[in-house]
Structure 1
Amino acid sequence: MAEERLDSFPKLLRRNARRFGERPASREKEYGIWQTWTWKEVEDEISALAAGLRKLGLTRGDRLAIVGENRPHLYWSMVAAHYLGAVPVPVYQDSVAEEMQYVLDHAEVKFAVVADQEQVDKLLSIKDRVPSLQEIVYDEERGLRNYDHAHLHPLKEVQAAGRASEADRAALEDEVAKGSGSDICVILYTSGTTGRPKGVILSNDNVLTTAEASAAFDQLKETDETLAYLPMAWVGDFIFSMGQAYVCGFCVSCPESPETMMSDLKEIGPTFFFAPPRIFETLLTTVMIRMEDAGKLKYRLFHYFINLAKRVGGDILDGKPVSPLDRILYRLGELLVYGPLKNTLGMSRVRVGYTAGEAIGPEIFQFYRSLGINLKQLYGQTEASVFITQQPDGEVRADTVGVPSPGVEVKIDESGEVLYRSPGVFIEYYKNAEATNETKTPEGWVHTGDAGFFEEATGHLRIIDRAKDVGKLNDGSLFAPKYVENKLKFFPNILEAVAFGHERDYVTAFINIDLSAVGSWAERNNVSYASYQELAQHPKVYEMIQDHVEEANRSIAEEPMLAGCQIKRFLVLHKELDADDGELTRTRKVRRRIISERYEPLVKALYDGSDSVFAETEVTYEDGRKGKISATLKIRDAKTYPAGGESKAA
């Protein structure tokens, strides 16, 4: 008898229930207590939910929206949809109602499974503008007792109805058998830096083939465990917390809330962990702030062993030669500093760690690796089912993104753009044939939109910037704004940066301070402030940011091809750039055109010699109200450096 092809999530779930039945599959922290479900229990929960959704009217081909923070029941809802041949459409939980309306209407969503009252209220407010939306199922019942329940259903009751219906449970067998690798697995909406989000259609084969190959690359197993805390609508979370988890059979844990994520991370101690650079930067900033307040002996001990780790820790991790004395000292450091520090960070058990999305500061990257944490960079896209390149063990560096992932072909075209093709390449953009044809060639190559090159000596890929963003200064020098912004964001005090310079005489920048890092600095240095706006414009903060800008310039000057990208003038914005104001995407990518238009007077002032500029900006508060904030922003000149030379005044 031929073995069943495991080409869908329900089939993998059934295999996992048989093979790993009593092993943990899902965890959730609720009211301070971790709740655990085994693979057998998860199969029962999902099949009951699938039968209940079928009873409500969900059928093959229907779209099911998923909205909320990371919760086992929301992940299970996606697999329940697969049981019936329906298509999950995860939506960013922090989207405002109007953003959700576009996605739900465009995807023609029929059902929605949401976390709580907040998300129910958003959907009810737009329901009359989304004619396809019929039924809403909710997980958390608090606050919803007195709502009209004609088309509103508690998830537990849907499951109970599914368990009670023999006909619906029996029908699941036929539905699962109909499923195949070519079926649509998920529609994921891109963050939309230049316009409306596009719905990326990925098949079961796209997701599961990629998940299997990438998991094998780093030898992920059923004994691994990860923490699911990043948006469920982001492709990375879908691959890590769904694809790889089901392929390998490992456990996915959900934190109690975004606010408790760091402490929950410490309690779970995952073996497999992904975080964008900002998370790693925040963790390190927290540690360094605490060490500033430590006693003299503890302070000296910490820095002695950290300096030792920076010198030899990476070599030890990579299996390179290290002197016996340094090995002994490093082991002592493990007992006194590295071990307790990794425990504090929640990374004592991390066997494989990943970061992606933006470039991570080399010093930050090497810091974690020096502690013995196997942190790597990967390069990917939604359209690739995440993985384009990965870093093999022993070949991990901060300035490259590794070699092509298993099964992936990568090439650089004449313009310097990176192209790839692989089993993970998306089917198409939903209802957008024009964009599909612009992105994917008839031969299956996908335009990444990124400029990069392969190192001849190592075969590793290096990414310079978004191809469409790479421009030139008036003197012909290359201008790569993302490269400049990442140099600035390497500093913990800088949360966000936006660089300008294309077809101009020199480069300038907007800067957002990191309120937690700079606030802590202000407290230690007796700098008083009453608001973000006041702290951002404080003279001492400007001096500190200027030091960072000039240090970034010094680093940029070391790259001859990009030395012209040094920042000549900058200002510190009076507000944080915000996705609710349309300035960032939900994954915190800069919307350059919107920022350039919205802050046009500020950009003009950076180039007309002004030493200050008045700014009045509309903001959106958490409850949806609009308001305005205003301030007079100082503009500073910064030192620039010739390639390899001494500084010169701006």
Structure 2
Amino acid sequence: MVMPLNAMAVPQAFFEQVEKHRTRVALRHKQYGIWNKVTWGQYGENVRQVAAAILSLELPRGQTVCILGDNRPEWLICHMAIMTAGMRTCGIYPTSSPDEIRYIIDHSEAQLLFAENEEQLDKILDILPSLRLQRIVVWDEKGLWGYTHPRVVFFREFIRRAEAHLADHPVAVTDSLRAIDVEQTAMVIYTSGTTGRPKGALLSHRNISMVTQAFLQIIPVSEKDEVVSYLPLAHIYENLVSVFMPVFTGVTVNFVESLETLPANLREISPTIFGSVPRIWEKFASNIHIKMDDSTPLKRFLYRRCVQVGRRYQQARQAGAGSLLVWRAVYALAYWGVLYHLKRQLGFERIRWALCSAAAASKELFEFFNILGIPLRDGYGQTESTGIIALQRLDKEPRYGYVGEALPGLEMRISTEGEILARGPGVFQGYFKNPELTEETLRDGWLHTGDLGAIDDGWLKIVGRMKDILITSGGKNITPEFIEN
């Protein structure tokens, strides 16, 4: 049964999970070779403390607070605390240059920033005289022992503010939580444009809660699932996976040590849900191909035959052929004999749903991983749509070349010019301090994506970008992809 979507403040959903799963593991992170666990109860208490410390600064409600650092528990704790305190989070890519950081802090009008370590603090100190920042909170003190600066405070010292503030205002966090309106902005996400400076897309609590719940209607997720956090949290996708989906389901989030250790960490964690960009999936596939090319003639023969069997089985499933039962039986032998072991070596032994999105990927890539028993699906969305517009469902056979069907509660159509338009509760509030671009992007409630597409029986296909349209001598609009094909 499809449940109605319920708009709610993100921290409200978070603290409901805290009460529901207080002793269950919420976060895992590796330190000195050991996986450390944070329960939902500990997660919730940490968020309350940081929220109280933020409230003690008496910043204007609705203020932007920036976070600059790699994925780690403190990122999620501060993110949720910022929203709990009635503020809005703005993540900054940890690879950003001082000039890029200066622009975002200045444009977002942030007065408070959380920085990961000495490396990120150094970037801020280089540009601090030109910033309006009142306070910089540093998580990791390594290399900074004895360092003092009037505007810099270490995380453990910042937490002490919470104790004093809560002693004088014991219900401050509770009152702040109750005061959050679902239409209030929860995040400002800066998206890179093709030209000029990045744009600050405003996402409300309604946007986030409605899209997350709509996603969960087509991809069943529970507290038994585990995800891996490794893509930048300054991006909407990683927020959906590592922050918002767990907040509504109780999923456990595992932080990888680094992008270089991702393959090893995947084998340790064996996530049930995993998403990445085509480049990462292509690397996984390439590693398997190289390994099999270097194996014995017998192993190469068995591998190639099993992949052929898997391909015939996939084709039979797509066509609904009468021989499907036969191919299912043959595939079971190929899977348990060879393919399953390759899937396990990748770290996907328990995988239930996998996503390959953010850029175009070949049909062969999707087909290969589905042959291995990894249900790799495509999807399409933008920051301005809170991450998702269309998605391939798990309960339907994937149509290669199509990104999927519209998210529940979202309308999707193609304009007369061929542009993909979307309307629904996930469409963003607009661009911060850019009413002209907001008016251009949002017209009559419809989000103009700037992408060209086609819809076939409810399935969306991406054709190209509006800016790439070419006009022939006969006045016909065509795309470079059309010419190439």
**Counterparts in 2 of 1:224 and 1:161: CA distance versus 1, 3 Å:** same
Q: Hey, what's the Cα distance between the residues in 2 that align with 1:58 and 1:292?
A: 60
Letter in 2 for 1:137: V
CA-CA distance at 1:283 after TM superposition:
0.7
Instruction: Please give the secondary structure, in 1, of the residue aligned with 2:260.
Output: helix
Indicate which of 428, 431, 446 corresponds to 2:430: 428
Match of 2:92 in 1: 91
Q: Hey, what's the Cα distance between the residues in 1 that align with 2:143 and 2:58?
A: 26
Instruction: Please give the secondary structure, in 1, of the residue aligned with 2:389.
Output: strand
Structure 1 residue runs without a partner (length 5+): 484-561, 567-650
Contact 2:114 2:138 in 1 (8 A): yes
State whether structure 2 residue 228 is matched by structure 1 residue 227: yes
Instruction: Please give the secondary structure, in 1, of the residue aligned with 2:78.
Output: helix
Match of 1:124 in 2: 125
Match of 2:371 in 1: 370
CA-CA distance at 1:75 after TM superposition:
1.2
Indicate which of 394, 400, 406 corresponds to 2:408: 406
Cα deviation code 1:231-270 (max 9, x no counterpart): 1111111122212221112111111112111211221111
Match of 1:311 in 2: 312
Q: Hey, what's the Cα distance between the residues in 2 that align with 1:135 and 1:174?
A: 24
Instruction: Please give the secondary structure, in 2, of the residue aligned with 1:236.
Output: helix
Cα deviation code 1:182-210 (max 9, x no counterpart): 11110001122222111000100001111
Letter in 2 for 1:106: H
CA-CA distance at 1:332 after TM superposition:
2.3
Letter in 1 for 2:140: E
CA-CA distance at 1:465 after TM superposition:
0.3
Match of 1:33 in 2: 34
Indicate which of 565, 582, 588 corresponds to 2:484: 565
Indicate which of 397, 407, 421 corresponds to 1:419: 421
Contact 1:319 1:394 in 2 (8 A): no
Contact 1:68 1:92 in 2 (8 A): yes
* 1:101-112 superposed matches below 5 A: 101-112=102-113
**Counterparts in 2 of 1:454 and 1:157: CA distance versus 1, 3 Å:** same
Match of 1:154 in 2: 154
Cα deviation code 1:601-645 (max 9, x no counterpart): xxxxxxxxxxxxxxxxxxxxxxxxxxxxxxxxxxxxxxxxxxxxx
Instruction: Please give the secondary structure, in 2, of the residue aligned with 1:150.
Output: coil
Answer with 397-406 or 164-173: which moved more.
164-173
**Counterparts in 2 of 1:348 and 1:478: CA distance versus 1, 3 Å:** farther
TM-score (norm 2): 0.93
CA-CA distance at 1:52 after TM superposition:
2.1
Instruction: Please give the secondary structure, in 2, of the residue aligned with 1:259.
Output: coil
Q: Hey, what's the Cα distance between the residues in 2 that align with 1:254 and 1:184?
A: 27
Q: Hey, what's the Cα distance between the residues in 2 that align with 1:14 and 1:451?
A: 41
Contact 1:52 1:168 in 2 (8 A): no
Match of 1:470 in 2: 469
**Counterparts in 2 of 1:265 and 1:163: CA distance versus 1, 3 Å:** farther
Contact 2:7 2:206 in 1 (8 A): no
* 1:539-550 superposed matches below 5 A: none
* 1:203-218 superposed matches below 5 A: 203-218=204-219
* 1:290-309 superposed matches below 5 A: 290-309=291-310
Q: CA RMSD in A?
A: 2.1
Contact 2:10 2:208 in 1 (8 A): no
Structure 2 residue runs without a partner (length 5+): 1-5
Letter in 1 for 2:405: V
Contact 1:185 1:203 in 2 (8 A): yes
Letter in 1 for 2:117: D
Contact 2:380 2:391 in 1 (8 A): yes
Q: Hey, what's the Cα distance between the residues in 2 that align with 1:478 and 1:285?
A: 37
Cα deviation code 1:490-527 (max 9, x no counterpart): xxxxxxxxxxxxxxxxxxxxxxxxxxxxxxxxxxxxxx
**Counterparts in 2 of 1:185 and 1:315: CA distance versus 1, 3 Å:** farther
Contact 1:58 1:84 in 2 (8 A): no
TM-score (norm 1): 0.70
Letter in 1 for 2:331: Y
**Counterparts in 2 of 1:317 and 1:20: CA distance versus 1, 3 Å:** farther
Q: Hey, what's the Cα distance between the residues in 2 that align with 1:169 and 1:117?
A: 34
Letter in 1 for 2:179: K
Contact 2:7 2:210 in 1 (8 A): no
Match of 2:3 in 1: none
Aligned residues: 478
**Counterparts in 2 of 1:344 and 1:7: CA distance versus 1, 3 Å:** same
State whether structure 2 residue 277 is matched by structure 1 residue 358: no
State whether structure 2 residue 180 is matched by structure 1 residue 179: yes
Specify the structure having the higher radius of gyration (Cα): 1
Letter in 1 for 2:427: V
CA-CA distance at 1:160 after TM superposition:
3.7
Indicate which of 385, 398, 405 corresponds to 1:396: 398
Match of 1:380 in 2: 381
Contact 1:22 1:38 in 2 (8 A): yes
**Counterparts in 2 of 1:306 and 1:269: CA distance versus 1, 3 Å:** same
CA-CA distance at 1:148 after TM superposition:
2.4
Instruction: Please give the secondary structure, in 1, of the residue aligned with 2:341.
Output: helix
Letter in 2 for 1:470: I
Q: Hey, what's the Cα distance between the residues in 2 that align with 1:129 and 1:314?
A: 61
Match of 2:447 in 1: 446
Q: Hey, what's the Cα distance between the residues in 2 that align with 1:469 and 1:67?
A: 34
Cα deviation code 1:575-616 (max 9, x no counterpart): xxxxxxxxxxxxxxxxxxxxxxxxxxxxxxxxxxxxxxxxxx
Q: Hey, what's the Cα distance between the residues in 1 that align with 2:78 and 2:59?
A: 12
Cα deviation code 1:116-158 (max 9, x no counterpart): 111111111111122x211111222111124323221221222
Q: Hey, what's the Cα distance between the residues in 1 that align with 2:294 and 2:47?
A: 49
Q: Hey, what's the Cα distance between the residues in 2 that align with 1:260 and 1:116?
A: 20
Match of 1:68 in 2: 69
Instruction: Please give the secondary structure, in 2, of the residue aligned with 1:64.
Output: strand
Answer with 152-161 or 33-42: which moved more.
152-161
Q: Hey, what's the Cα distance between the residues in 2 that align with 1:142 and 1:272?
A: 33
**Counterparts in 2 of 1:220 and 1:142: CA distance versus 1, 3 Å:** same
Q: Hey, what's the Cα distance between the residues in 1 that align with 2:170 and 2:332?
A: 57
Q: Hey, what's the Cα distance between the residues in 2 that align with 1:471 and 1:386?
A: 28
CA-CA distance at 1:321 after TM superposition:
5.6
